[in-house]
């Protein structure tokens, strides 16, 4: 039975999952509208793979409910499996099979032929087509990811579930992979992609941030970061470690952490950037700079991790 879920391809309501010692998911709720490229962003151990296991019917939630493409993940497992393309976190390909054989194998699982939906995967397969007889185990990391994506799409699923597809992949392949996701989204497929790379959050139309099994924020990336800049400053100097020590003593600084080659300072209303500049320079640091920062998703996470302690 198809459930009416008001244009949502994925709907998750109060899902919890407890392992013996760990509450991996704690009352997780969010929904992914049809046709949207949605990011599940969170560090290692946040609960991402557990949620994917539930959405792909491999595990049951302890409580709560979830629907994918209108089907109940507990009661309608068969239906879900035909509607969903899934790329698990750990490698899904058969290493001893060739590129061509992997595609044929996944097509046969779903009772389709490789050529039936080849138009959909052609952009993904563009480079791989040059070596159809290479074994999957002999492909580079980036190529493996593309083949795995091709295999996950071979039956033209409505919903694509990708669990950390770019982890451990080089920067260029990572960027190519995201370009492909955006073009797949243009063809109407709903995509839920998880990542622990905070910079990838900005490439999604909407995101849910997950930390310790809890959804801590959800919305568009710009909504989430809109107010971060109000009390956030960049500080830099030639001597990084002494700078880190010195900024902690500045009036109005609540927290500080390294951010690329600079520091981010979380401040309260009493913070005065000109005074901070003067105090840091007087303490012997060279080339001091203090200026307002534009916050991003990483800053949001740091707030949650700090407030947790």
277 φ, ψ (degrees, to nearest 5): -60, -45
Applying CB under 5 A, does 89 fall inside the site for Mg ion? yes
Write the CA distances from 294 to 29, 232, 246, 264, integer angstroms: 29, 7, 22, 10
Of 21 and 115, CB closest to Mg ion: 21
Q: Tokens 């035909």 label which residue?
A: 82
Of 54 and 154, CB closest to Mg ion: 54
For residue 50, the partner it binds in ligand ADP, Mg ion, none, with Cβ less than 5 to 8 A by kind, is ligand ADP
Closest to 76 in 3D by CA, of 62, 86, 64, 66: 66
Applying CB under 5 A, does 56 fall inside the site for Mg ion? no
| Cβ 246 vs Cβ 260: under 8 Å | no
* CA–CA separation, 289 and 295 (whole Å): 17
| 65, two tokens | 């409910």
Of 42 and 85, CB closest to ligand ADP: 42
| 150, two tokens | 């091709």
Number of chain positions touching Mg ion (CB under 5 A): 3
Minimum distance, C-beta of residue 25 to ligand ADP, in the bound complex (Å): 8
Of 54 and 285, CB closest to ligand ADP: 54
Closest to 30 in 3D by CA, of 48, 8, 52: 8
For residue 22, the partner it binds in ligand ADP, Mg ion, none, with Cβ less than 5 to 8 A by kind, is ligand ADP
Of 89 and 101, CB closest to Mg ion: 89
Of 48 and 146, CB closest to Mg ion: 48
Minimum distance, C-beta of residue 169 to Mg ion, in the bound complex (Å): 15
* CA–CA separation, 152 and 102 (whole Å): 11
Of 73 and 128, CB closest to ligand ADP: 73
* CA–CA separation, 309 and 37 (whole Å): 33
Q: Tokens 């955006």 label which residue?
A: 182
Of 44 and 286, CB closest to Mg ion: 44
* CA–CA separation, 140 and 62 (whole Å): 39
Minimum distance, C-beta of residue 32 to Mg ion, in the bound complex (Å): 18
Cα 52-54-56 angle, rounded to 5 deg: 70
For residue 47, the partner it binds in ligand ADP, Mg ion, none, with Cβ less than 5 to 8 A by kind, is ligand ADP
For the chain, the distance separating the N- and C-terminal CA atoms, rounded to the nearest angstrom, is 45
* CA–CA separation, 49 and 52 (whole Å): 5
Minimum distance, C-beta of residue 195 to ligand ADP, in the bound complex (Å): 10
Minimum distance, C-beta of residue 283 to Mg ion, in the bound complex (Å): 43
Of 49, 53, 117, 166, the one binding Mg ion (CB under 5 A) is 49
For residue 46, the partner it binds in ligand ADP, Mg ion, none, with Cβ less than 5 to 8 A by kind, is ligand ADP
For residue 272, the partner it binds in ligand ADP, Mg ion, none, with Cβ less than 5 to 8 A by kind, is none
Binding site for ligand ADP (CB under 6 A): 19, 22, 24, 42, 44-50
Site string for Mg ion, 227-256 (x = CB under 5 A): ------------------------------
| 195, two tokens | 């990542």
Q: Tokens 């946040």 label which residue?
A: 46
Minimum distance, C-beta of residue 246 to ligand ADP, in the bound complex (Å): 36
Bridge partners for 72 per DSSP? 67
Which residues are near Mg ion by CB under 5 A?
Answer: 48-49, 89
């Amino acid at each position: 039975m198809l459930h009416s879920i008001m244009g949502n391809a994925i709907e998750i309501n109060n899902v919890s999952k407890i392992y013996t010692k760990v509450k991996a998911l704690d009352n997780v709720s969010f929904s992914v509208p049809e046709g949207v490229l949605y990011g599940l962003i969170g560090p290692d151990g946040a609960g991402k793979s557990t949620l994917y296991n539930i959405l792909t019917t491999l595990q049951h939630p302890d409580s709560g409910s979830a629907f994918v493409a209108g089907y109940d993940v507990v009661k309608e497992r068969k239906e879900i499996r035909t509607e969903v393309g899934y790329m698990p976190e750990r490698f899904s390909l058969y290493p001893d099979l060739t590129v061509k054989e992997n595609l044929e194998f996944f097509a046969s699982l779903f009772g389709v032929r490789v050529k039936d939906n080849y138009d959909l995967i052609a952009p993904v397969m563009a480079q791989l087509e040059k070596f159809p007889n290479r074994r999957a185990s002999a492909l580079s990391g980036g190529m493996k990811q593309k083949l795995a994506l091709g295999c996950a799409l071979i039956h033209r699923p409505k919903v694509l579930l990708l669990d950390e597809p770019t982890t451990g992949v080089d920067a260029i392949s990572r960027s190519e992979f995201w370009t492909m996701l955006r073009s797949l989204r243009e063809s109407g497929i709903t995509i839920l992609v998880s990542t622990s790379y905070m910079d990838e959050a900005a490439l999604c139309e909407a995101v849910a941030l997950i930390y310790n099994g809890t959804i801590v924020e959800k919305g568009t990336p710009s909504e989430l970061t809109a107010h971060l800049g109000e009390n956030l400053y960049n500080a830099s100097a030639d001597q990084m470690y002494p700078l880190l020590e010195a900024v902690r003593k500045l009036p109005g600084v609540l927290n500080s952490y390294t951010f690329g080659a600079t520091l981010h300072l979380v401040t309260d209303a009493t913070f005065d950037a000109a005074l901070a500049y003067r105090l840091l320079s007087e303490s012997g640091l060279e080339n001091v700079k203090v200026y307002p920062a534009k916050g991003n998703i990483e800053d949001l996470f740091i707030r949650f991790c700090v407030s947790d302690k």
